[in-house]
Structure 1
Amino acid sequence: MNTKLKKIGELLNICRKNRGLTQEEVGSMIGVQKAMVSKVENGLCVNFDTISRIAAALEVEPMVELKPVKKADKNIIDYVMTAIIEFAKRHRLTIKEASNYLNRFKGIDFLMEFYDVEHTLSFNDCVDDLTVVCQNNGGEIR
């Protein structure tokens, strides 16, 4: 499932609930079944016309932004892989367990977003940062 479409659906769901409307009511407003509104809210609909019509019924304006695709940088990939290995060593995990944990609790997202700063630190400091980020996102490794 496309995470961007899911996010659009979540936002439309919040707007609908804030207006005190049911999916059935919104569907009636735009001439679709409740099931279609549900699909959009769950990120399962790629029909931008339907998304736009739901947004108009909710009196919000959907906005589209086109960004250039970032190519994978070998240096970032190497850094993230090494950070995962170091995290696994410190916390006595397999590399697969560490990778899954860091992915689940946003550690890898953190490394990608803050690569410019993190790669200048020692791997010891990097693992400390990853541990805190994951704890802040619900992880329980200490």
Structure 2
Amino acid sequence: MNTNLQKIGELLSQYRKSKGLTQEEVGAMIGVQKAMVSKVENGLCVNFNTINRLAEALGVEPVVGLKPKKKADKNLIDYVMTVIIEFARRHGLTIREASNYIGRFKGIDFLVEFYDVEHTLSFNDCVDDLTVVCQNYGGTLK
């Protein structure tokens, strides 16, 4: 699933819910079935026409932007891999299990976004921070 489409769908879902509308009601407003609204909100089967129609019905304006892709930084990649290994050791996981867990519960996003600060900390402190971030996103490791 394309995470950008999923984000658009999540935002539309939030606006719909904030207005107290059901998927069925919004679908009726734009002439589609509830299932189509559900697909859009889950990042599936999305096209700009449907997004625009849903946004119009919800009273919001979708904004599209382009930004250059970031080139992978070898230092960042090495750092993330080392943190994954340390995380696995601390929590008694395989490297694959740790990588999957950290990715699923937004830990990789955290490490990339806050690399400039986190890489200045000890690995112990970084693993502590990463554990908290993953728990905040639903992870259940101790």
Structure 2 length as normaliser, TM-score? 0.84
Q: Distance in 1 between matches of 2:102 and 2:58?
A: 37
Q: Distance in 1 between matches of 2:30 and 2:137?
A: 38
Residues 1-142 of structure 1 correspond to what in structure 2 (within 5 A)?
1-142=1-142
Q: Secondary structure at the match of 1:135?
A: helix
Q: Quick one: distance in 2 between partners of 1:137 and 1:22?
A: 26
Change (3 A) 1:87 1:31: closer
User: Which structure would you say has the larger Rg?
Assistant: 1
Structure 1 residues 31, 130: closer, same or farther in 2, change over 3 A? closer
Task: Report the identity percentage.
Answer: 80
Structure-2 change in CA distance of 1:91 and 1:64 (3 Å): same
Deviation at 1:24, TM superposition (A): 4.0
Distance apart, 1:17 and its partner CA: 3.6
Partner amino acid for 2:105?
F
Cα deviation 1:25-55 (Å, max 9, x = unaligned)? 4334334344333322221133101210121
Structure 2 Cα separation of the partners of residues 20 and 90 of structure 1: 44
C-alpha deviation, 1:69, in angstroms: 0.9
Deviates more, 1:71-80 or 1:35-44: 35-44
Answer whether contact 2:39 2:46 (CA < 8 A) is retained.
no
Which whole-Å deviations, capped at 9, do the CAs of 1:57-88 have from their partners, x for residues lacking one?
22211111211111211111111001111111
| Residues 27 and 139 (structure 1), Cα distance of their counterparts in 2 relative to 1, 3 Å cut | closer
Work out the CA distance in 1 between the residues paired with 2:127 and 2:25.
50
| Alpha carbons of structure 1 residues 137 and 33: separation in structure 2 relative to 1, 3 Å | closer
Paired residue type of 2:62 = P
Residue 100 of structure 1 aligns to which amino acid in structure 2? N
Deviations 1:80-110 (A, max 9, x none): 0011111112222211121122222222221
Moved more, 114-123 or 10-19: 10-19
Which amino acid in 1 is paired with 2:36? M
